[in-house]
Chains A and B, each alone.
Chain A
């Protein structure tokens, strides 16, 4: 059943009237949403940046496979083929011992140049896992192949790193969900109070034949406004803060492995998410209250 435009306007009008009539409760729930979404916003900024750092670190994680000195050219390509066919391997790169030495000379200085005559280094493969968290498993498997003299992947350290990163992500997520429900509970209380205040009106509406939706929709609109109003300040604050933080920190982090997410599109996504959360908290919070009331 499509709602008549007139009825739609009526519901909107009623929702505004109710916000105005219950000013203190309106203020209280808008503040509740504001505080919640601010906290959620901060958590999201922290989490998303942590995530980015984690991703960057993860991307850099690679397995260095030292090739046996005895392996001839065909043995090396057999090994290469085996590594490529290993489950979860994304890429493989062959670096000869000469190239390895060049890298070291660049890093440590020309004194190493004397090793050019009798290169003590081995040829290596650099291997990346398509899922960095599987690095250890893949490394262990490669270690078993013929002609893989030694496998180096930061054993122990990267497992710890992944653990820290995963814990950080989960804690953040739990906190966000908890905040979300707290705000929803607060909104649903406000709406309950506005419903009780209009109990007589609702009773009469039902006596003269108003449908449930007719009774319900103004309150859902009201919840929606509470959520949207509550989201405005957090959106502004997060945008301004993040923009300035980025401007301030980015030059200092230049060249470091630690990088912030760039302002766009991140800030648009964040604002969209905050607005959506406000809306959802508001509408769902009031839905819970109205539903209880209508059933009673």
Chain B
């Protein structure tokens, strides 16, 4: 599903955020990416949806090579990869339903399909009753659920999340994790960067540790491994 070969990323300011990363993530896996601040986790994530382009090396997602992907083709990659962020990235002027529908309107889905798909995911994240509310009327956990709903409404093969629980209380974080677990159970590959030790230690998924732009550990069912 996701393959990285000798991925090297040097920012224009000279910082090397990936220093030769090799990895293979199989379809349907759930992977945590851990490591100290500034280790290169976000860069690793950003290269997967081509927000950043590697300086050298190959990144292959679902048979698309991101290193040679033309800019004009990036939108079609993004449709296969759902993204979730710490800060939710919802549009404040749109209600819950519209925020999710937005992702389908933008890719020119038909109105009937939009209605059906949005209602489906609203059910999946348990927000059907709040579909007419606006982001500022929701709790952080609910906003993140909207954002997750938006990321999966187009049934992508991969969901990539960069510290999705970073702004949330522990109890709410667990709700979000359950939701991601459910999405993963439907066959969607999930890659999630996190600082949350408890979650990583409890959930027993594959753990990739990055330090100084290098993978220092990669074990299935591993623990967080740092004193957070």
Partner-B contacts on A (CB < 8 A): 4, 6-7, 10, 200-201, 203-212, 214
Smallest CB–CB gap between A205 and chain B, Å? 5
Query: When A6-B108, A200-B89, A200-B91 are in contact, do A209 and B76 touch as well, CB less than 8 Å?
Result: yes
CA distance A211 to B78 in the complex (A): 10
Smallest CB–CB gap between B111 and chain A, Å? 8
Stretch at the interface among B23-31, B98-106, B120-128, B170-178: B98-106
Chain A residues with CB under 8 Å of B78's CB are 206-209
Residue in A7, A204, A205, A209 whose CB lies within 8 Å of B79: A209
* Known interface pairs A4-B108, A208-B107, A209-B79; 20 further A-B residue pairs with C-beta atoms within 8 A, sorted by A's residue number: A6-B108, A6-B110, A10-B105, A200-B89, A200-B91, A203-B89, A204-B89, A204-B102, A205-B102, A205-B106, A206-B75, A207-B49, A208-B103, A208-B150, A209-B75, A209-B77, A211-B72, A212-B75, A214-B106, A214-B108
In the complex the two chains form, is A207's CB within 8 Å of B83's CB?
yes
List, sorted by A's number, 8 A–B pairs whose CB atoms are closer than 8 Å. A7-B108, A200-B91, A208-B78, A208-B107, A208-B154, A209-B76, A211-B75, A212-B72
Instruction: Please give me the 3 A-B residue pairs with the lowest Cβ-Cβ distance, nearest first.
Output: A209-B78, A209-B79, A208-B103
In the complex the two chains form, is B91's CB within 8 Å of A210's CB?
no
Residues of chain B in range 68-104 having any CB-CB distance to chain A below 8 Å: 72, 75-79, 83, 89, 91, 102-103
Smallest CB–CB gap between B139 and chain A, Å? 21
Partner-A contacts on B (CB < 8 A): 49, 72, 75-79, 83, 89, 91, 102-103, 105-108, 110-111, 150, 154
In the complex the two chains form, is A201's CB within 8 Å of B75's CB?
no
Smallest CB–CB gap between B113 and chain A, Å? 12
Task: Look across to chain A and name the residue whose beta carbon is closest to the beta carbon of B89.
Answer: A204
Smallest CB–CB gap between B182 and chain A, Å? 21
Chain B residues with CB under 8 Å of A201's CB are 91
CA distance A209 to B72 in the complex (A): 11
Task: Look across to chain A and name the residue whose beta carbon is closest to the beta carbon of B49.
Answer: A207
Task: Look across to chain B and name the residue whose beta carbon is closest to the beta carbon of A203.
Answer: B89
CA distance A156 to B81 in the complex (A): 78
Smallest CB–CB gap between B215 and chain A, Å? 26
In the complex the two chains form, is B106's CB within 8 Å of A210's CB?
yes
Most chain B C-beta atoms within 10 Å of own C-beta, residue among A207, A208, A212, A214: A208
Chain A residues with CB under 8 Å of B72's CB are 211-212
Chain A residues with CB under 8 Å of B49's CB are 207
Smallest CB–CB gap between B76 and chain A, Å? 7
CA distance A204 to B79 in the complex (A): 12
Smallest CB–CB gap between A201 and chain B, Å? 6
Smallest CB–CB gap between B53 and chain A, Å? 14
Chain B residues with CB under 8 Å of A203's CB are 89
Chain B residues with CB under 8 Å of A6's CB are 108, 110-111
Smallest CB–CB gap between A238 and chain B, Å? 41
Residue in A4, A204, A210 whose CB lies within 8 Å of B75: A210
CA distance A203 to B89 in the complex (A): 9
In the complex the two chains form, is A208's CB within 8 Å of B108's CB?
no
